[in-house]
Amino acid sequence: MVTRLTSAILVSLALLLGFGATGAAAVPSGTYKGKTKGETDVRIKVKNNRITKFESSMYVTCYTGGLIFTYAFPPAGQKGKTIKIKGDGSFRVVFKADPRVSLNDDKRTLKGKFKGGKVSGSMKLEGLCEGDTTFKAHK
């Protein structure tokens, strides 16, 4: 027969091991500011455990030469899109900013992870122009 004490111990162990947990802690809403590896500014807005805006720039190489490239989410023409932040604080999105070109010519990948009021990650552009960098930001 299971006693109340035994039941309480079993419930406590289950919670410690993650069984029956209702969800992970949300990422705090607000603005996170930082820099890329190339020392350009990064600005990320978070609301309701979603990234509502990401702004930065990086140097990319294009077939016509190198240039500074503005990296923004949501892309022009896709107002209101957001990036869901998973329970472990990670996020990843692949998108194209210019609806007139194929994903093969304008593939942008943004990924990272929030932890303790900080976020770190990477930006990558593939297609007609190419480049990548990492970033760090804090609240």
pLDDT in tens, 11-69: 443 433 444 344 556 899 999 999 999 889 999 999 999 999 999 988 888 877 666 77
Which range, of 17-31, 37-51, 78-92, 99-113, averages the lowest pLDDT? 17-31
For residue 12, is it within any domain?
A: no
CB 32 within 8 A of CB 137: yes
Who wins on pLDDT, 88 or 39?
88
For residue 9, is it within any domain?
A: no
For residue 17, is it within any domain?
A: no
Return d(Cα 137, Cα 139) in angstroms, integer.
Answer: 7
- pLDDT for 123 beyond 90: yes
- Is residue 20 exposed (0-12), middle (13-18) or buried (19+ Cβ within 10 Å)? exposed
Q: What is the pTM of this model?
A: 0.76
For residue 6, is it within any domain?
A: no
For residue 11, is it within any domain?
A: no
pLDDT of residue 103: 82
pLDDT of residue 21: 41
The percentage of the chain sitting over the pLDDT mark of 90, rounded to a whole number, equals 49
Q: How many CB atoms lie within 10 A of CB 70?
A: 10
- 92: domain CATH number is 2.40.128
Return d(Cα 112, Cα 121) in angstroms, integer.
Answer: 4
Domain boundaries, position 133: 25-138
Element at 51 (helix H, strand E): strand 50-62
- pLDDT for 87 beyond 80: yes
All residues at 6 or more sequence positions from 27 whose CB lies less than 8 Å from its CB, including other chains:
46, 49, 85, 89, 114
For residue 1, is it within any domain?
A: no
What dihedral do alpha carbons 8, 14, 15, 17 form, nearest 10°?
140
Amino acid in the structure at residue 71? Y
For residue 4, is it within any domain?
A: no
Number of structural domains found in the chain: 1
